[in-house]
Amino acid sequence: MRPAPGPGSGPAAPGTGARRRPPVSASPSPTASTPPAPRFHLPWADLLRRLHWRHLTFTLREQQLFLLLAVIIGLFSGLSVVLFRIAIDGLRFELLGSGLTPAALRVLLAPVLGGLVVAFLVIKLFPRVRGSGVNQTKAAVYVYDGFIPFNTVIGKFVTCALAIGSGQSLGPEDPSLQMGAGIASALGRRLRLSREKVRLIAPVGAAAGLAAAFNAPISAVLFVIEEVIGTWSAGVLGAIILSAVSSVVITRWFLGDQPLFSIPPYHLVHPAELLAYAALGVVGGLASLVFVHLIRFARPRLKALPRWTHYLQPAVAGLLIGVIGLKFPQVMGAGYIYIDQAMHDQYAWQVLAMLAAFKILSTSLSFVSGTPGGMFAPALFIGAMMGGAVGGVEHHFFPWLTGSVGAYALVGMGALFAGFLRVPMTSVFMVLEVSGNYSIILPAMISNMIAYLISRQYQSTPLFDMLSKQDGLDLPSMEERREVETPRVEDALRPYSGPILQGGDSIAEALRHAANSPQGVLLAQDGEGSWCSITKEELQRQVEAGNTAAPLSSLLPSTPLPHVHPDQVLDEALRRLGDAPLLPVVNRANFRKLEGVISLSDILQAYRRQESGG
Of 163, 172, 242, the residue nearest 213 (C-alpha): 172
At residue 113, the pLDDT reads 96
Residue 605 has pLDDT above 50, yes or no: yes
Please indicate whether the domains covering 43-255 and 489-612 agree at the CATH topology level: no
Largest Cα separation within the chain, whole Å, is 104
User: Which whole number is the average pLDDT over 515-528?
Assistant: 81
At residue 163, the pLDDT reads 96
pLDDT confidence bin for 181, thresholds 50/70/90: very high
Residue 579 has pLDDT above 90, yes or no: no
User: Which whole number is the average pLDDT over 550-558?
Assistant: 81
Three-state SS for 548? coil
Burial level of 528, CB count in 10 A (0-12/13-18/19+)? exposed
Average pLDDT score, the chain: 84
Residue 541 has pLDDT above 80, yes or no: yes
User: Which whole number is the average pLDDT over 94-112?
Assistant: 87
Domain boundaries 273-479, CATH class:
mainly alpha
* Long-range contact set of residues 43-48: C-beta below 8 Å, sequence gap at least 24: 45/186, 45/187, 45/190, 45/191, 46/190, 48/72, 48/187, 48/190, 48/191
Distance CA 242, CA 298 (A): 40
- In CATH, the architecture of 43-255 is Orthogonal Bundle (1.10)
pLDDT confidence bin for 247, thresholds 50/70/90: very high
Q: Amino acid letter at 486?
A: T
Three-state SS for 482? helix
Of 245, 219, 571, the residue nearest 430 (C-alpha): 219
- pLDDT per residue as tens digits for the range 361-401: 999 999 999 999 999 999 999 999 999 999 999 888 887 77
At residue 542, the pLDDT reads 79
Q: Amino acid letter at 436?
A: G
User: Which whole number is the average pLDDT over 47-67?
Assistant: 58
pLDDT confidence bin for 270, thresholds 50/70/90: confident
Q: How many helical (H) and strand (E) elements, i.e. helices and strands, does the chain have? A: 23, 5
Residue 352 has pLDDT above 90, yes or no: yes
Residue 512 has pLDDT above 90, yes or no: no
At residue 330, the pLDDT reads 93
At residue 50, the pLDDT reads 54
At residue 14, the pLDDT reads 37
Residue 569 has pLDDT above 60, yes or no: yes
User: Which whole number is the average pLDDT over 180-207?
Assistant: 89
At residue 98, the pLDDT reads 76
Distance CA 549, CA 442 (A): 71
Contact 357, 324 (CB under 8 A): no
Q: Which residues contact 64 (CB under 8 A, 6 or more apart)?
A: none
User: Which whole number is the average pLDDT over 514-542?
Assistant: 82
At residue 273, the pLDDT reads 86
pTM of the full structure? 0.80
Residue 231 has pLDDT above 80, yes or no: no
Residue 559 has pLDDT above 50, yes or no: yes
Domain boundaries 489-612, CATH class:
alpha beta
Burial level of 494, CB count in 10 A (0-12/13-18/19+)? middle
Residue 155 has pLDDT above 50, yes or no: yes
pLDDT confidence bin for 233, thresholds 50/70/90: low
Distance CA 389, CA 283 (A): 10
Residue 491 has pLDDT above 80, yes or no: yes
User: Which whole number is the average pLDDT over 350-365?
Assistant: 96
Q: How far is C-alpha 283 from the geometric centre of its chain's CA atoms?
A: 25
Residue 282 has pLDDT above 70, yes or no: yes
At residue 548, the pLDDT reads 78
* Long-range contact set of residues 605-609: C-beta below 8 Å, sequence gap at least 24: 605/492, 606/487, 606/491, 606/492, 606/570, 607/487, 607/570, 609/491
At residue 16, the pLDDT reads 39
Q: Where are the domains of the chain?
A: 43-255, 273-479, 489-612
User: Angle of helix 62-96 relative to helix 195-214, nearest 10 degrees?
Assistant: 40
Q: How many CB atoms lie within 10 A of CB 549?
A: 9
At residue 22, the pLDDT reads 45
DSSP for 221-248, written as a single string: HHHIIIIII-S--HHHHHHHHHHHHHHH
Q: Amino acid letter at 85?
A: R
